[in-house]
Each structure stands twice: as structure tokens, then as C-alpha cells.
Chain A
Amino acid sequence: MSQDYEIVIGLEVHVELSTASKIFCGCPTTFGAEPNTQVCPVCLGLPGTLPVLNQQVLTFAIRAALACNCQIAQHTKFDRKNYFYPDLPKAYQISQYDMPLAEHGSISIDTTQGEKSIGITRVHLEEDAGKLVHQSQGGQIGTAASSLADYNRTGVPLIEIVSEPDLRSADEAYAYLTALKEILLYTKVSDCNMEEGSLRCDANISVRPRGQEALGTKAELKNMNSFKNIRDAIEYEAKRQIRVLEEGGKVEQETRLWDADKGTSHSMRSKEEAHDYRYFPEPDLPVVYLSEKMIADQQQQLPEMPQARRHRFQKEYGLSEYDAGVCTMSPAMAEYFEDAAKKAVSAKVSAKTVCNWITVELQGKLKADGKEISNSPIASGQMAELTRLIERGKISGKMGKDVFADMYVTGKDPEVIVQEKGLSQISNSDEILKMVAAIIAANPNPVAEYKSGKTQTIGFLVGQVMKASQGQANPKLVNQILRDCLDKNI
């Protein structure tokens, strides 16, 4: 490669808001209903109907925009975006054009070079379109002779969050999406479920020789349905554009569709005027006034944001950056950890230990079962109690794992399981001393070896004591007492 190129990425993220009813009518928004069972004259675009804005949509959108540090407009309006497509029964989408709900925001992402601020150009409201099932092998649109339209999703409320072209790599794009998703989950405006289409992302990508100020021609990438897809698609597209330039070609301004199975993208041939949307003000919806009180109310609803919480967990509970990241992945996880950590700390157990048990054992088990932390069969307080038993030497770490497995199945308190199974670890020095003395007497040869300097023999002797105790002695104490005895009577 003769020249060093810089990749420039801007992302457009569509998020379905978690309202009960649609944005302009009372139809339910429940995912997965039978086709065309959640529709009415308004969302079907039948003549003579009038849309009425759902107030909760506005509330959620303001909250999300505030969480992205945006300035909320004093008033905002809706516009019609006109185009013909079978998923859009009205032949226009109600969206926002020149007076969006909010502008000029930013969110902070963690990169390998530290924190970076990514600008948010705007946050606006719009309605979702319907769902099309293409009747062809693999559901490909290009080869389908016909398609089936389901209008249940038509009119589900969306916010579109548009970033500035501030992202410089596929990894930064990934970090931005992760941070944005966390913010949206924390503010409880969306479930951000990508499989159900609650969060969708398009990427604008261009490349330019490093040092050049003018942006290169951008391509728009669509059809990526996971964060990993997005990262792969961006990497592929940047390489493709660099190759075009190096071969002396020109990057075309076009929309490209990502094919996750093939790991490639292809140009979406569209009619030349497909992007002439002829926006005009929606005459059926009045201007919306956003009072200071409405904004202040939502400002109050904002919880501690994920990044701030991550930093606080590191400071307050001594977690590593990685652990703090895992513990703040979702608000439910953060609440679970903090609740357990507080109980642990008040019982003089380190939060770090609790964190390990939660992130390794519990998370591992939940993941394997496809469960969320909110459905954990073990309560946060029980987790704290388990670590307390281990740190106090009541049970060994190994026993802890057995107790944990039992707790996960039965939901019983760890103390109850320890009693029922007679697992209590022997931490009584006198008892251990007796056992140690017996083992020393019974094993003169290993004892002699140890005393002659072959100190690794201690392992064998510890093993013998543990065996004699049927695994119930505290191994740390056994080791310590054994050494004391052997070293003392030389």
C-alpha cells in the first residue's frame, strides 16, 4: 500500500421505543404477533384518518436525547417523507426533516487511546414501516416474484440517532454502538433487541488520504443485524474503497447491502430518483411545543450513565476496568452487582471477590441457560452470603462451587445448603493440629525428606491431612499448621 488512508464513519441508528401503543394510533406494539393483527385505519393509511401523537413517545425521545447530551428544541414538527414501497401503506413515512426534536449532542466512548467524544448531529422521531417476507429461496428480494406485507410494525415509534462523521475505525464504530445501546438501556426507553429489530444501524463510510481535509465520497451500508456484522461490514467497505482508489478508480456514492453469510457487500441498484423524498410539513399533525418543565422532568428521570457508573465501580469497589465493564453491561447487571457488593462490603468481604463470583460463575451459568441476570435464580444477597462463607473459611472455594451449583438449582440460601450437606469446613486449629500430628507420626519417611530440605514433600502431607478430614479441613490452615509443626521440632 503506497498511501496511508483514514476511514471516516458516521452511523444512523434507529431505535424502537418501548411504548405500549404505536406512535400515532392505539394499536399495540407487541413483537411477534400474527401478521396483520395489530393494525387499524390510521396505521394502514386508510383515507379519512388522522394521526394523534402518543405522549409517551415524546417523553422517551426527550429522555434519550438528553442522555446523549443533546439540546432539545423549543418546538418541533413532523414532515412527510414520500416514497413508494410496499412496506409503507400511506406511500409516505411521517418523520422529521428540518426541525428535529434534538440536536448538537455527544457521547463518550472508550477507545484504545482513551476516552473519545463522538458528536450526535440530531435525534428525531419517526414511524416504523411494515415487514416484508420475500417469496424466494432464502427470502432474497432480488429473486422474489412476490412479497407478503405484514403491517403490525407500521407506526411503531422510532427515534433516529445520527452521529457526526467522527468515528475513525470499525472498532470505534463498535464502541460507539455499545455505548449508545447501554445509554438507551439505562434510560429504559428501548429494549434494544437487535434480533427483534428494536435497534438497527446504517453506516456512512468514506476514506481519504491521511492529512487530507475534504471528505471522500461516501457509501451507505445497510442490512447489518448485529454489532459484529457492522464491524465486519465497515472493515470490508473501507478495504474495498481503498482498493478502488489505489487502482485509480472513483468511489461511487451508493447504497450497499451487507451479506453476512458471504462476508461481502453489493450495490443496491436503485432507480435514479429513489432519494428524492419531497419532504413537506405533515399537515395532519400540529407543531409540538417542548416546555422547560417537560425537559426538566426527563432530566430528573436520567439515571447514572453507564460510563460514570463504570468509573465509580472502579473507584468505589476496586474493580478492574474490565470487571467494571462487565458489571455495568446492563442496568440490571449493575444493580445486581452493586446490591451484592454493598452487602459484601458491610460483612467485610471484598467487592472484588463478589464480582468474580458474579462475572465468572453466575454469568457463565446464566449465559449457558440463555437467561438474563434479571431472571437469576440466585438473589444478589445470596451471592454476597456465599462469598462471605468462603472468605471466612467456613467452606473452601471448591466447596463454594458445589454450594453455588446447588443454589442455582434450588434457590436455597448458601448457609442452609452448607448445613444440609454437612459441608462446613474445619477451621478449628485444635482439631486440625490433632490430624496433623497423626499424619506426621504415620509418615516418617516423607517427614524426614521434608526436613532434609525437600520441602515440596509438604504437598503430599497436606494431601494426607485433607484426605483424613474427608476434604473438610481448611487447606490454608492445614498447610500453615503442618509447616509450624515440621519446622518447630527439628
Chain B
Amino acid sequence: MSQEEDSLTKNVRLRLGFADQLREVTVTTPKDEPRPWDADSALTVVGQPTPRVEGSLKASGAAVYTHDVRLPGMLYAAILRSPHACATLEHLDVAAALAQPGVVAAVPLAKVGDRLRFAGHDVAALAARSRDEARAALSAIAVRYRPEPFVVDTLEAMQPGAPQVHAAAVSERRTEGDEPGEASGGAARGNVRLGPSQSKGDHKKGLRQAKVTHSATYTTQVHTHSALETHSLVVRWEDPRRMTVWCSTQGIFSVRDEMAEIFGLKPADVRVITEHLGGGFGAKFGASAPGSRLGYAAGELARRAGAPVSLCLDRREEQLCTGNRPDSIQQVTLGAGADGALTAIHVVAHGSGGIATGAGVGRSAFGVYSRCPNIKVESHDVFTNAGPSTAFRAPGHPQGAFAIELAIDELAQKMGRDPLALRLAHVEHAVRRYQLELGRERFQWAARRAEAEARRARGARIRHGVGVACSIWGDYGRAKAAVVTVSVGRDGAIFVRNGAQDLGTGIRTVLGQVVAEVLGRPLAEVTVLIGDSELGPSVGSGGSQTTSSVAPAARNAAEMVRAQLAELAARLLDRPISELSWGTDGSARAGRRSLPFRELCQKIEGEAVVASATRPKTYGAHPMRYPGGDNYQIAGVQFAAVELDTWTGELRAAEILAIHECGRTHNPLTARSQVQGGVLLGVSYALMEARVIDRRFGQVLNPNLESYKIAGARDLPAIDVVFCEVHTGANSTGAVGIGEPATIPTAASIACAALHAIGRPVRSLPITPDRVLAALAGQDGA
């Protein structure tokens, strides 16, 4: 370490680790960082299950979402979309639409000669006084298409001679929802392009050494985000150089930058407000998905009309154009020695994100069973004439976990080994090992496996199955990205300000808890203001990075405010600052004298004591890195119990045990909600959801919430959530993310349990009754 660096850093001794595996560790932090919270920190607000501060607002219907913004003179926009899977635009004239009742402005979104690459591609937009006037006027737009050959099926698109989806190289649009480092960019051959790959050792050699091998193909379906609030934005020009945008987004600042770029404005002159948003799950970064120009449409219509414009997609548009989780076709080959040790893992994956990239399969195969010496994972993007993929809660991971975990179980079956024991033999990560062992006891693995096998042996109609799968994710908490401002006023009012949006994870509450903890005040006295770009730079809510980017910054700012208050108190009490201590009620104490918080605040010179702070990069004391980077690796495991009706083929998830970690759990109440939601999303993905697209016509057959099946309250398994708290020493509060890991292993664990119940694998998601019946009838893979 250079001397200069040395003078800017300090070493602190912390107690880090988890459960009974705690140890003293020296961590190097920047000099001005507070001592990071560790296992010895006795906290009273952070770590308590705390109802979200905006809970009553949401429950009373008073929370305002972008859909709900109503401004004087506001117009409503509608978009004309191409009905063809692929077509060249031959003629477009929006003028006639302007003569329709109520219509105020119209803009083309495509040019004559453009190739419109999927059914649903933007063509033109207009704004009218009411929603139905806008929609009715769309038919007055003069438009002519020349249909082109297209391909929507992933396998067909891979064939030589398939219609070419993109004529030129595809530029990748990265969002904060994508995993850092996942960019691909290999050259395309036909519609196929090499995507992110990972490799270590020599998988070919590993396979040659193997005594037992297993090789099979696993497929997963296209999965749509289906957030309940559709993509929406409202644009109001304040003057020709400044605009305000209300947007249903998980990235306020990415929308700001995008709008500034589109309209040639300074980012500071674009204000973006997201008070509440009705779900995003990764699809709501920037104003729109690839192949879509929602930001331009709303902004340009508002400019031409000289009035605010509200653009809220309808459900059909939402399902077609705003994103999805790509499908996958994964060839998995495993090899093991006579002793059962894995010698090689090889995965060749193809998937289609429609016209977009992003079909990688995550890091499960590469990172979880890291004792295997030879691993190669190759992902490929296959372009098709279908709606674009966008980041979706742990991009790539659920599909990757499904294939590798089910393959591991099949290998275990072949070798006559217990699948949990096989996992334990190959997992290095201490937390994940602990979680697997914890789950084995808590889920009564051995007893339930035996019971299920006995049922199967005696030919019971209702069979049981038990499975387990792992998740891997990285902590993407970002340095210097979020600036949190904390102020304490003369009246004792405490404010926390930051431009983050609340995706529904409860970040408002966590910010309040952290500041209440530092200042020793009740949470009710802290007002948290977020959801507005004017409140200070922040991060997008993707990659499970919000809490770990924002909470440490809030602590750091609150500590600075407390230091200023301490100086003031020392002066008032006429004691050196070193003698000063803080009561748990926020009062300052020195010797026998004490000064209550309110009295102290009254003595503040000026209006308030204010401090802004950010967080430095992760200190780097983490025991196990995420493969391919220097990020903390987040471990999780889920156990599933399924019930199978052998007469109908219906498979039900009966119970899920989800064991996860999010570093220090700041708010167990909302963190638990995150996990429960992630699990049910996984159940729904495993058993029900599938976008269906007609091969001959290139049309999505279920762009709705009716025939695109989503799990409802009746489909809910019993979900047992266990947090394994890890003292990470990664940042000043010890937060790491949880949103994405919670949904990664669910479908995989259900598929493994299905194998256990049926005796044969169902190698395609979703696991529907027809596939189950086929497997029961003896078809491998179904």
C-alpha cells in the first residue's frame, strides 16, 4: 500500500462471519468511515421487523403512481404498432389522424424503409383529450407495410438459411438490471451470437476422466415480468429547455439521462419523479425497452401539443413490448469419477431474447459447485422476431439453475447417491454449506425422502417428492453512486433525502431505520423523502443493489450530522468532546450532565445541521467472491416438497423452505416479504407461466393475464423463510442484496422434487400436467 493510500485508510478489527462461525478480522476502510457494524454492534432499530413507513398510504389507495398522475390540460397518448412479425414500412402519414375528434398531436416513431422486427413494434403515436379518442384515432393513420419473412422459434432461428432478424450487428443496451460483466458481443453467425461464457480447467479432459456421465437437454420458456402497473410516463415541459417526467421506473436517473439525450437537454434540466411504482422486476430501466421509443413519444407529443401528455401502455402492449426473460435450450454434460466426485461440467446454452440480447444462463453451473475442477459454460443469443428481453429478476439465473440442478439430481440418481450429499461434496462456500445442512434438519430431508419413496413404491395415487437447489448472486452495492442527505432542524425534525425509487422493497423504511439508529431517535420522527431526481443522485433498483448502495450512505451522513451535534453539545455542556456520550434516546451526556435531543436542536445555529454522504467501494473483506469479479458472493438454498396426482398429472408445490442471507438483515419484515415474493414468482415460473407464440403467424397468443397464467392465492405453497445473518464487513451497515437471489433456486428445487416424485425427469419448464403424464408414462425428459 502506498503511503498516500495509507494516510487515507485505517484498519479496524471487526467480528465477522455467521452463526457459530464468527472470527476477528482486520478490515481496511477509508479513514473517514464510521466503524462498520459487525457482530458486536448492538442495534435497536436496524434489524427490528418494522412495518413500512408508507404502508398506510398504500393501503388507503392514496399512494400516487404514474398511472394516477392527473395534470391540468393533460392529454392521453396511444401508440400504433406493427401487426407483422417482420415488415418493411412502405408508407406512413400521421396527418389524417390530426383531423380526428380530440386529437391534438401525432408523431411518427418509425421511418419509411425501416424494418419493423416484431409484432408490436412502435410505428406512430398520437395524443388526444381522452384515452378512447386517442385509441380510436389510431385507425386514421395512413400506413402500409410490406411483410417480410420472419422466424419466431428459437430452434428454427438457429438453422442455416433461417430469415435473418438483424441485418447488422446489434448494439447492446446495458441497464442497471443486468449483471455487471455479462456483456457479450461475439460476432453473430446467422441469428446466433456467442454470449457470456465462463471457463476453468479443461472440461474435455474432465469428461475423459469420468467413470459416470450424464448428458441431456433442458429447456425453459419465455417468462414475462407482468408487473401490475404497466410501463407509463407523463411528460410536462416547463419551458423549451426543461421538462418534468413522472415515470413508472426502477431507475430514475437512467430515465433522466435517456430523456436528456433524446431531447438534447442538460440532465439537470430533466426532473424525474417516481413516488410509487407498481412493480418492475427489471423491465423498468430507462423509458422503454429495446425497439421501443416511449420516452421520445411522450416527450415529443407533449412538445408539439404544448400540454402534458400521459402515456400508459395497455396490458397487451405491456406483455408484447416491454421485456421478458429469454427462453433457453441448455445441453448439460456432467462427468464424475468412481468416488462420485464431479470431474467436469459443460453447459452449452442457446436462448432467445427476441430482437434483443441477454440470453445468458447466469453463474449457477459455473459458481455453485466450485469443487469441480473443470467447468465450461457457453451461452448464445439467438435472435428471433419477437418482443425484446430485458433484465428480469436475476437475469439468466433461474433458467441456468434449473438445468444444472436437475442435471446434478439425475447424475445422483444414476450413481445411487443422495442429491443433497452430492451437493455438499461440491459446494465450497461456507455459508451455502451451512444453509444446506440447516435445511437438511429443518426440512427433515431424510425422513421425507424416505416417506416419498415408500409412497411411490406402494403405488399410491398421490405421490410426494423432495428436492433442493442453490442460488448464487453477487453484491452490486455501488461506491459513490448514491448521495444521501440527512438534516436535523432546530425543531428536532429529521429528514433523509435521496433520489432512489422504492420498487416495493421498502427502502424508505430502511433509510429511516438507519438514520433513527444513528441519531437515537424513534423511527416516527424521521421523514424519508425519495422518488425524485431533485433529492440527490442515486442508483437504479436492479441487481439487488439499492439497499447496499443507499443504506451505508445514509449511515455515513447521519454519523456526520451526529458529529456536528456532538460538537455543539460539548460546547453547551462545556466539556471536551471526548467525554461526550449519547443516550439511547438521542440525548447528549457528559459526566452527570445531559442535554435532551430537542433542547440540543434548539441551539442549532441557522436552520438545521445538514450532511450529505456516499459510500466507498466494498471494503473487500468478504470470504468468498462472486466468480468473475471482486464482489461479495451471496449464498442461498431452497428446499421444495411437491405433491403429484398421478391420475391427472397435476403437480403442486406444497412447501418451500427458503434459506437466504442479505448480510445484516436491516428490516426482517420487508426482507421476508421479498423472499416470499421471489419464491412465488419461482413457483409460478416452474408450474404455470409461458408466453406462447404462433410459429406460422409470429403472433403472441397470450399477451394478457388470462391465458398467460400467473400464480394466485390458491396456488400458494407454505413458505418457510429463514435468514442466515452474515456479518459481512463489506460496508458501514453490512447490507447486501436479497431481491434477486430469492427467486433463483425455486423452479430448480421444484424440478428436482418432481424428479423425486415421478422417478423420471421433466426437463422442460413449465412442469405442466401433460409433461408430467408423459414422464409418468415412461418418456424421459417429456
Q: Is the A/B pair a real complex? A: no
Q: Point out residues on A near B: beta carbons under 8 Å.
A: none
**Which residues of B are at the interface with A, using a C-beta cutoff of 8 A?**
none
